[in-house]
Chains A and B, each alone.
Chain A
Amino acid sequence: MRTLVIARRELGSYFRTALGWVLAALFLLLSGLVFAASSLSPGEPASMREFFTVWWSLLVIVAPAISMRLLAEEQRTGTLEPLLTSPVAEVEVVAGKLLGAAGFLACCLAPTLSYVAVLAWLAGPDLGPIVAGYVGVMLLGTLYLSVGLLFSALTASQTLAFLATMFFLLLSEVGAQRAAAHLPAPLDAAALALSVNLRLGDFARGVVDSQHVVFFLAATAWFGGLTALVLRTRRWA
């Protein structure tokens, strides 16, 4: 219950500041450009597969931007102390913040349904892969937000949290693919298992694999757990 209260408060905070609206507009601008370039070519299949695959790179920028203020702002303004001394568990704080940020990401994604409407009007695409694609993007987005939440908990500087998160996401993805190309079997498969882009690719083509869902949820939980632990160490301090 307390989690939902925190989530609602967090979600509302995005709309109360100009930053949230600007962020949403920026996200839609980039999405629109990518969609127009990748999925709106006469004669090409009416699908959003390419679009979803490219969305990974948008999330690398947008997710850190959404998450950078989640705890860093609280630390900077000094509101984290009262929050941690209140009768709320760290896990509830983290879950609430994450849910709020994921809610905001969903709000950013909602206008992109107009792309689906345009495709449906033009050619009647297969909706299955589109639904799967949105599920994949939300799962990936939430994972990225949880990474951003961890870095936001580690610093009081929003800029630092943003940059650290973005570089971490970029390096982990590129590193996994590079390592897979050079490692012998079966280590290459293990390295590839860390590539979220490949997992998103499955969703984008209409395949919902339980192992991908578990991976995204488990990885999100892991980063969330680490964030909760970081908050607990603050209490010790």
Chain B
Amino acid sequence: MMRRAGSWAQAGVVVFALTAVVVLAIMLAARFSVRADLTATGEHRLSDRTMRALQDLQSGVTVVVAAEIGQVPRENAQRLRDVLDALGHASPKVRVRLLDTASGGGQGQFDAVLNQLREEDAGVIAEHVAATQAAVAELRGIAGKVNELAGGLGGFRDRLGAVAQAMGGASVTEVERLKQVWDGQAAQLRVLADSTEKASREAEGLLGQRMAAIDVPRVDDAVRAIRTAADEVTLAAAATAEAITSRGLRLLSGPGISQAIAASPEMAAARTSGGEAEAATAAIRDRAARLNAALAKMGTLRVARVASAISRNRAALMIASPTSEGEKPGEAVAERASVSAVDVDQLLGLVADRSGQTVGATAVDRGRMEDLLAAGLAAFGSGQRALVVFTHAETGKLEPAYAPVRRLVERLALRGIDVAEWRVAGGEKPAAIAEAERSGRPVVYVTLSPEVRGSESAVAMGKLAEVIRDLIKERKPLLLSVNPSSLPTTGSEDPLTAFLKPLGLEADSGRVLLREVRTAGGRVVETELAVVDPGTDHPVAGAIAGIKTRLVWPIPLTVAAVGEQGTKVTPVITVPAGPGLWAESEWQAYRAARGNPSQAAPPRADSPRDQAGGPGPWLLAAAVEQGEASGRVLVVGSNGWYLDPIAEQTVDVNGRLVQDNPGNAELFLAGVQWLSGQEARIASGGESRSVARIPALSDGQLSALRWGLGGLLPVLVLLAGAAWRMFRG
């Protein structure tokens, strides 16, 4: 009995020891695993660039791809799994999750990811909500002050009435006119107060609503509404203060006012009233500007970026851990990229209709998938976040809504790139530039060339040209878009291209590339080019290889014979010579009739100037490097190509909503990344790897193979067995 018990105890010990050894072996093997890729093409090896991006990660990153996997072509799904698996194995910092949202479990897991995000950021969200509520109150206070100011201007106007009575004669007319002006100003301020009050109510309402997909207040939309209103108040208050000074106080102490009247108590009261109004206006202006600046510093919530990406792009999300070593929670999210995203439709080759439902799919190369994901992961690297400064000579402001480039700005944000605006015509250089330069962040200037319509815009153009010249001289990274200009036609030099010569480039902005097409309806002349093959091996070109990039009113560039010593010009986009493609010098009339081209006869290549430079090939974008120390410039021979109406244009193809020019946004992103010295973040089109495929077979051949393999082999085995038993017994 004792012996048996001892044996069983010994067996227990053996089982325990055996289990421990096996578990230990498996754990050690998992920790120190070696993977061998036996594929001939190295299908499961990540590129050096991806490996660098992974090694550079500053915190843990969760890659969440949520899609209806059943809608994804089998090959694409398989490739995505392979790439995600390779990423997960290559770095302990990367955690990958592929969720099938068509299944209840997958949707639940996706919701759990969003819940986790919300919980992690609960503190920051509460801070933002509180700050926004305070901002709403402040805006309401400003609205009240604006209303008071309108009343104050009324008092000022009434005092002017008393002044007019005291003055008599011609001055009465002058003062009466002033009264009308102040009536108008007061009315405008009352309208402004009303709209500001409305904006505060709208912001409050937005705070009460929740973001789609994530149950969090719409803080960012509320902030945007407040900033827009505060910005309007700042501008209006500045204009009012200027008017009070120039059209009120100055007149009341001007040479037309006799000494006797000037010394009258009515005049003194009017001056005091005007001075008070001026001070009140300045206070309002400063208060609104302070509010705007405080909200601008607040940054965007990580969950808001996620919500935006989900609702607009059906994105594959890359979410950084809220903190990495040595960081405090709130600080970390604000200082570096917290969320990055890749359009899941691009990643999986899905095609969606207007309602966002998947209606089709195309094959996506594995290299492209890897590059897209690696570019998203690169946003969490140690490289400083770039700042893009939209530099323009327009009178209107882009901030805070960035209306013509809103989608682009969102894309930039998802790649960890911030934006600022520099209005060279009316504003000072933004403080964000100096701050970024102080902290060593790359600052990339992006120009938006104006169309010259009048003397005012000619002055603005001159200012912009001056700024660009200085930027080039200071070797600042610059993305320059060239607009067609009528100046070269009249023999004048285009100031917005004149500074290119020292860089070794020339832009013939007096001629635009036109393409003649013969259709059933007759001869058509197109004013834009769709580039699918950029024709060069520049890293920026790699990003747009194989996808359509639309360049409107393209301007041909030429590499100048002599540039400054040390400058290197590399072609980025070239278009081969082709029939019906020429550089037209008399394009203005055709452009003027753009709204109704039938009114203008399509131009022909009929002048010697049209033939200048030969038949091509045509250089449409070039990269310039000024020596070894930074100083990169990317010149694109087209203007407005990155604006939302072109870059985000969609077309309806058989009920499918397809992005028409995906290359435009990619060109911009890749251009910014190259200019900021972050080539590793450029997602290239990826080289296609050839895959051996089963050739087309007739039904007979296919049936023969299937029956042969499925039926004949087992029969042969059975016959062999029968033979064996017959001969061997």
Contact = CB atoms under 8 A, between A and B. Distances in A.
Interface of A: 15-16, 18, 20-22, 24-26, 28-29, 32-33, 35-36, 40-46, 49, 111, 114-115, 118-119, 122-129, 131-132, 181-182, 185, 193, 202, 205-211, 213-215, 218-219, 221-222, 225-226, 229, 232-233, 236
A129 B718 contact: no
A32 B358 CA distance: 35
Nearest to A125: B692
Contacts of A209: 33-36
Given A18-B725, A29-B714, A222-B22, A123 B693 contact: yes
Interface string B414-437: 000000000000000000000000
Report which residue of B705, B715, B717, B728 has the largest number of chain A beta carbons within 10 angstroms of its beta carbon. Answer: B717
A70 B715 CA distance: 26
A114 B713 contact: yes
A32 B711 contact: yes
A15 B724 contact: yes
B717 A122 contact: no
Contacts, number: 167
A181 B105 contact: yes
Contacts of B702: 40, 42
Contacts of A131: 38
A46 B82 CA distance: 17
A32 to B, nearest CB: 3
Interface of B: 4, 7, 11, 14-15, 18-19, 22, 25-26, 28-30, 32-41, 43-44, 75, 78, 82, 85, 95, 105, 109, 691-697, 702, 705-706, 709-711, 713-718, 720-722, 724-725, 728
Nearest to B697: A42
A128 B39 contact: yes
Nearest to B89: A209
Contact of B35 (A40, A46, A207): A207
Given A28-B713, A114-B709, A119-B694, 11 more contacts: A21-B722, A28-B717, A29-B710, A32-B710, A35-B709, A35-B710, A42-B694, A45-B75, A115-B709, A122-B697, A210-B29
Contacts of A226: 15, 18
A208 B709 contact: no
A129 B44 CA distance: 11
A18 B694 contact: no
A42 B695 contact: yes
B88 to A, nearest CB: 10
A210 B30 CA distance: 8
A187 B396 CA distance: 56
A207 B705 contact: no
A41 B74 CA distance: 13
A98 B709 CA distance: 29
B694 A126 contact: no
A186 B671 CA distance: 40
Given A42-B702, A43-B696, A214-B26, A111 B33 contact: no
Contacts of B15: 225-226, 229
B694 A132 contact: no
Contacts of B40: 126-128
B706 A43 contact: no
**Which DSSP category, helix, strand, loop or mixed, fits chain B's interface?**
helix
A33 B710 contact: yes
Nearest to A115: B709
A222 to B, nearest CB: 4
A114 B718 CA distance: 17
Contacts of A205: 39, 43-44, 78, 82
A69 B706 CA distance: 33
23 contacts: A21-B718, A21-B724, A25-B721, A28-B717, A40-B706, A41-B694, A42-B694, A42-B695, A46-B694, A123-B693, A126-B39, A129-B39, A182-B105, A205-B78, A206-B44, A207-B35, A207-B44, A209-B36, A211-B29, A211-B30, A214-B29, A218-B22, A225-B15
B695 A21 contact: no
Contacts of B693: 43-46, 123
A208 B38 contact: yes
Given A40-B705, A123-B692, A24 B717 contact: yes
Report which residue of A16, A44, A206, A232 has the largest number of chain B beta carbons within 10 angstroms of its beta carbon. Answer: A206
A45 B73 CA distance: 13
A126 B41 contact: yes
Contact of B14 (A129, A206, A215, A229): A229
A127 B25 CA distance: 30
B43 A32 contact: no
Contacts of A35: 709-710
A36 B709 contact: yes
A197 to B, nearest CB: 13
Nearest to A49: B78
A114 to B, nearest CB: 7
A36 B33 contact: no
B35 A208 contact: yes
A206 B692 CA distance: 15
A236 B692 contact: no
B28 to A, nearest CB: 8
B95 to A, nearest CB: 8
B694 A43 contact: yes
Given A42-B702, A181-B105, A229 B11 contact: yes
B694 A122 contact: yes
A147 to B, nearest CB: 14
Given A111-B717, A114-B709, A207-B44, A122 B695 contact: yes
Given A25-B718, A131-B38, A211 B26 contact: yes
A181 B37 CA distance: 28
A210 B35 contact: yes
A40 B694 contact: yes
A22 B714 CA distance: 9
Contacts of A33: 710
Contacts of B75: 45
A26 B706 CA distance: 16
Contact of A118 (B7, B85, B709, B714): B709
